[in-house]
Amino acid sequence: MKANIHIKRMKGVRYLMNQALSSYTSMQVGGRTAMILQPEDMDALVRLTTYLHEKNVPFYILGGGTNTIFGEDGFPGVVIRLGRGFRFLERLDRNRLHAGAAGFLPLLLEQSMKWNLSGLEFCYGIPGTVGGAVAGNAGMDGLGIHDFITVIHGVTLTGNPVTLRKGDYSYRYRYVEWPKFCLDSTGKVLQKVKDESLIVTSVVFQMQEANPEEQNQLLEKYKIMRSRQPAQRGTAGSIFKNPAGDYAGRLIEAAGLKGRAIGDALVSPAHGNWIINKGRASAQDVLTLISLVQNTVFRRFGVKLEPEVKIVGAP
């Protein structure tokens, strides 16, 4: 990790120096970063990303940290977490919601139900932020969050504000492919971007009026499904994406890996696709266990499991 990074102070940005990244992720492992920067609003984010781009300082956007594993060496740059100005939720009209990226997904579901709106019930039990869910197309039961999004506001890594609409980008299971060109609200080309290089700042959801009976049935269904998963503390949720036509958890169990441990990192005995930090696991323990699972499943079944979690700052 580079510890001698110098970032000028700027209005609207909170600075946290020499931070342990294990404190910011649900897996509770990982090294340190020189600083965590928290822009409080859109103007501050644009200033900050423009400056970091001009100075060639590497940065990583971190949401709730529920789907991210940092390596032992931390991150060789700075980490950005969106601040309070990105935690809003407003009702635009009868069936449309505008949600800030730093808001928590469980609160979005809770408020949408209070407004008698339906569509996001499958998000029950999914932790983390709205922005994180959008970046990875979080979902369940064949549904993904992008199925209900009509507009995405964001900033490119070079500091350009952009607006994307349905059809401007593509998505599939646990993946989003941002366009080769981000467009602003008038359709003007602003900046070429690479895949996964858009900082999501807010999204507009298209919902529908809820049928209370059907909504309760859906919620009960998802509660039962979530109850079969381990507790969220010391985990990062599903470690691997499900391969086509199969389930990662089934393959891991069939390979005899449930309960396998390296150090304090354990393949959950309850669900093969979850790894648990029993308390003192290092990032290397977790990453070595992930590699062991991948190699074993590939040898046994010829299936290469692709991580669903974001692995950052590791070889």
Q: Which residues are catalytic?
A: 174, 238, 308
Spell out the residues 6+ positions from residue 125 whose beta carbon is closer than 8 angstroms to its own. 106, 222, 223, 225, 226, 229
- d(Cα 89, Cα 100) in Å, to the nearest integer? 6
CA-CA-CA-CA dihedral for 293, 296, 300, 305, to nearest 10: 40
Phi-psi region of 206 (alpha: psi -120 to 50; beta: other; left: phi over 0): beta
Question: Per-residue b/e over 50-67, b at no fewer than 16 CB within 10 Å?
Answer: bebeeeebebbbbbbbbb
> CB atoms < 10 A from the CB of 256, how many?
11
Residue 47: phi and psi, rounded to 5, are: -60, -45
Whether residue 268 contacts residue 275, with contact meaning beta carbons closer than 8 Å, is answered with yes
- d(Cα 131, Cα 210) in Å, to the nearest integer? 24
Pairing mode, if any, of strands 139-140 and 170-172? Answer: unpaired
Residue 183 CB burial class (10 angstroms; 0-12, 13-18, ≥19): middle
